[in-house]
């Protein structure tokens, strides 16, 4: 059954930035749908 769990996570679509379309590494859950770059831009 471990095999199917691995496949489940592999089949999850990568999170993408809604602004530039870059893939977001899911380590910052509070980031929402924007990547580091776009989050930085909004900070100006």
d(CA 36, CA 41): 9
Q: Exposed/middle/buried for 3, CB within 10 Å: 0-12, 13-18, 19+?
A: exposed
Give the Cβ contact number of residue 15 at 10 Å: 16
Site for Zn ion in 4-43 (CB under 5 A): 17, 19-20, 22, 35, 37-38
Q: How far is the CB of 32 from Zn ion (least distance, A)?
A: 11
Q: Which is nearer to Zn ion, 22 or 31 (CB)?
A: 22
Q: Which is nearer to Zn ion, 2 or 16 (CB)?
A: 16
Chain residues binding Zn ion by CB under 5 A are 17, 19-20, 22, 35, 37-38
């Amino acid at each position: 059954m471990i095999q199917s769990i691995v496949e489940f996570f592999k089949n999850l679509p990568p999170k993408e930035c809604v602004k530039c379309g870059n893939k977001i590494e899911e380590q910052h859950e509070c980031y929402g749908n924007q990547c580091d770059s776009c989050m930085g831009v909004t900070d100006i």
